[in-house]
Amino acid sequence: MVADSLKVCTVCASNNNRSMESHKQLKDAGFDVSSFGTGSSVKLPGPSIDRPNIYEFGTPYETIYQDLLSQEYRKMYEANGLISMLDRNRHVKKAPEKWHNNANAGKFDLVITCEERCFDSVVEDLMNRMNNKSEDAEEKDVRKVVHIINIDIKDDNENAKIGGKGIVRLVKMIDEYREKEKQRKIDEGDEDQYPVLLEDNIMKILTEWQREHTHLPTLYTASYY
């Protein structure tokens, strides 16, 4: 992947369904992508609505997969798609990751959340990060602009796939603007012409995308960290 490629991450609550489906689809489309969850722990459906399976972030998908297979409700998990979801996830990456602990992943150009509460959580967390760096770290730090877009996706298998397609479409539209500017420089020899700037067009892109995906409401903010 070239140095100036778009760095994208997807975020949902547990880093198991919506964010992983879009992680997989973006990865298959060739993008540099990571994914995270904003919950305090990983919650998966259990035998009944009030008895979820709970795991720590960082627990490998393989481990969760084996744990669910070893439970007596295995057939229910297979029937509701949980097993196949985890099987997909373990082939994408090792374990679910918590958004709030992702400093080691570096900084992203684009953060796509899948639920309004996750959007709020990410935006607020970036506010905290701007405020809470140690003095030494802050002296060496230059804040980076990050675009945070929320795409509201219902948390079930079918809607995660539909949402994933929408997210891939959006990221491609954004990436195309960056490609347009590179191409313009080649064609016009970097003349003193006004460039095609992503930031100037982000609202046009979102409007166009929203018009095509009215079932997936959006939120957007520009922030730093």
- Give the interface with other proteins as residue ranges (CB under 8 A): 116, 119-120, 123-124, 126-127, 130-131, 135, 138-140, 142-143, 145, 147, 152, 190, 192-195, 197-200, 202-204, 206-207, 210-211, 214, 217-224
Residue appearing with tokens 């590179």 = 182
Q: Which residues touch 128 (CB under 8 Å, ≥6 apart)? A: none
Smallest separation (angstroms) from other proteins to the CB of 68:
33
Nearer residue to other proteins within complex by CB, 69 or 222: 222
Smallest separation (angstroms) from other proteins to the CB of 152:
8
Report whether 223 contacts 146 (CB < 8 A). Answer: yes
User: What is the rounded distance in angstroms from the CA atom of residue 26 to the CA atom of residue 95?
Assistant: 18
Nearer residue to other proteins within complex by CB, 50 or 139: 139
Using CB atoms within 10 Å of the CB of residue 160, give its burial: 0 to 12 exposed, 13 to 18 middle, 19+ buried.
buried
Q: Which residues touch 203 (CB under 8 Å, ≥6 apart)? A: 220
Nearer residue to other proteins within complex by CB, 93 or 100: 100
Nearer residue to other proteins within complex by CB, 47 or 195: 195
